[in-house]
Amino acid sequence: MPVMHDDDAAKTLPVSGNIDALHKQIADQEHVSDRSELEQAGEQFATQRILVVEDDLALASLEANILKTYGFSVVTVNSGELAISALRRSIPDLVVLDLELTGPVSGWDVLQELRVFATIPVLLTTSSTVTVRKYIYNQGETRETLDHLPKPYPMQTFLKRVKRMLMVAPQ
């Protein structure tokens, strides 16, 4: 068997060529694939509006930026009072609602007010899992209209949950 001494020998594939070219081809395909997925996601969700109710401004900003990147129209508010006011002006397709809001109007108050006039999907974000599960069970809500994402959560999980809820939401 011949021994290769050429510097490019280590970069040569036994089947069909140069490994650098293969890496470039894979990178180009990944770039096109990522762009294509982003464009598809943006087209699919472009007209959908989300209200983010979160008193942690850094988290609200992060959530809003991720959602906007995927083509959602996003409004953020940082109090229960502002959330109720926004909901009275316009009903979004989904509400991301922190239950543990500071101030006189809690996330629970916002949810109760919303349910008086709309059954849109709501993604509850809180660390109190037991309380949320009891509420969902006692109110007869389903995962299509009310779901819970316990804090802290990875942003990828957040995005997947939002997309799932919007896909199965009653129209």
List, for residues 121-132, the tens digit of each pLDDT value.
999 998 878 788
pLDDT, one tens digit per residue, over 136-146 is 778 878 777 89
Mean pLDDT of all residues in the chain? 79
Classified by CATH at the fold level, domain 46-168 comes out as: Rossmann fold (3.40.50)
Say what the pLDDT of residue 141 is.
Answer: 80
Share of the chain above pLDDT 90, in %: 57
10 Å CB burial of residue 53 (0-12, 13-18, 19+) is: buried
Tens digit of each residue's pLDDT (9 = 90 or more) over 34-89: 444 444 544 555 589 999 999 999 999 999 999 999 999 999 999 999 999 999 99
CA–CA distances in Å: residue 67 to residues 92, 96, 150: 14, 11, 18
- Give residues with Cβ within 8 angstroms of 150, minimum separation 6: 125, 126, 127, 129
Output the CA–CA distances (angstroms, integers) from residue 34 to 27, 41, 132, in the order listed.
10, 10, 36
Q: What confidence tier does 135 reach under pLDDT thresholds 50, 70, 90?
A: confident
The pLDDT assigned to 131 comes to 83
CA distance 7 to 41: 44
The pLDDT tens digits for 78-91 are 999 999 999 999 99
The structure's pTM equals 0.72
Domain ranges, ordered by start, for the chain = 16-45, 46-168
> Tokens for 160?
């997947």
Q: Looking at residue 9, what is its pLDDT? A: 40
- On the question of a cis peptide bond just before residue 152, with omega within 30 degrees of 0, the verdict is yes
